Structure 1
Amino acid sequence: MYDFLFQYYPYSAGQLETWHPAPHEALEDSAPARERFNAPVYVAANGVIQRDLRAVSHDARTKLSGVREMLLATRERAPNFGCFGMHEWAMVYRGHDIRHAHIAPLRLPQHDVDALVESRPVACSHFDAFRFFAPDAKPLNRLPLAYATRYDREQPGCIHANMDLYRWAFGAMPWIGSDLLFACFTLASDLRVLDMEAGPYDLRAMGFEPVRIETAEGRDEYQRRQQAFAERAAVLRDELIDCLGECC
């Protein structure tokens, strides 16, 4: 369940635990503080230690500016709350690459999994989920997705786009501060749970009850939780956009 957050996202637990102040915070100048918060990221002057934004390289500014523009575009698009987590089912369509079979069995027989994929609208807007679809499932997706335009379909209802706020946050460290980073990580962790609970795998032995999206009740539950997470993500996306605007 949670290993994904350190396998898919290239940011270690040690990096996550290394604290940095928020952009508006300054540290009291002292010898121990200077040892930990030093050049080129930090500068000490007038009894305080603060970030030195002059240390952000041109390449880093260009990259962070691109991330900010993508987040702004995502924020302006209409959210879609009708995907119901079908991406995980499309990944194992017709028995293709059942990645977690050695840990957890499928909740339904393979023919029922296939029938569900064929009977429901598949409307994945996130390329990094779509690219793991079984080959036979990719033509079933209602949205054309390609690597070159992978961010053009990002929308604020998508649980993976909202999970990826963590990616954009750790890519902007230490400039945005650890409070925002950890809030994005916590959201990603909670979204990961919904992602897997709504998937085709049976995780009850690990203490996770399924969200049965094959039923109307399960789809309602998924949609309610997805909308609540999108509200949390909107706040963090705004904070991240503001912080990136200050450093790029």
Structure 2
Amino acid sequence: MSSQPCPIALTIAGSDSGGGAGIQADLKAFSALGAYGASVIAALTAQNTREVRAIQDVPPEFICSQIRTVFDDLAIGATKIGMLGRAEAIAVVADELSAYGARNIVLDPVMVAKSGDKLLADSAIESLRSRLLPMASVVTPNLPEAAVLLGIDEPATEGQMLDAARALLALGPGAVLLKGGHLEGSQSADLYCDGVREIWLPAPRIATRNTHGTGCTLSSAIAAGLARGLDTETAIRDAKIYISAAIEAADRLEIGSGHGPVHHFHRWW
């Protein structure tokens, strides 16, 4: 029996010692959606469902070594970028991904943990905007992150979301998925924008406090789809179906006493 090429997705992000977000969530989502997961750890966090107690940045030269070692051996089909706490880390990631001609880059501009703890230094915001946004196949900010990236007030209406998505697209990514979960209402509508299409992607708002790692999981689910050869819009639609089901099943888990994780393996457990 002949073997088939295995889709491989890489996550470059921070480690979550509590297992609900970051590298750990990304690898779970990759596995759940049929992609082999590789990882480059850019930061360490002492974190649980209630708080981030400490952050330890990984030296840029070691981030570089991890990236080179992975790309020198593995056929990376998609790369998800998550938490990069400092400008130096952003610079080395941008330089190395460019040198290797990395494709299908999904950028999740992680800035604040679910607990409210800050994960991105102010000095790194401009580097994120100027170095990584233009490289991204798709960028997946929520409304507060979009506001920081654009230097505007947080969008509060669908019209303001549309303006923000267009402004983000003008910064160079191939597409924008602007997540609308911070708006009010029974529906949580995200906006997909690629310069040709502007598509609203609504989903029912699910009543649960167990949403730790939602953004990480969604972006890594998109990367898994891209690694498997899906086009961007299809990968996003499939990822939204997956994350909605993972949130809906989250209360079947009893993990921690704060914001628990989504259920990455809801289809199997």
The TM-score by the shorter chain falls in which range?
A: under 0.3
Q: State which structure, 1 or 2, has the greater radius of gyration over its C-alpha atoms.
A: 1
More helix per residue: 1 or 2? 1
Indicate the structure whose relative CO is greater, using CA pairs within 8 Å and at least 6 residues apart. 1
TM-score, normalization by structure 2:
0.26
TM-score, normalization by structure 1:
0.27
More strand per residue: 1 or 2? 2
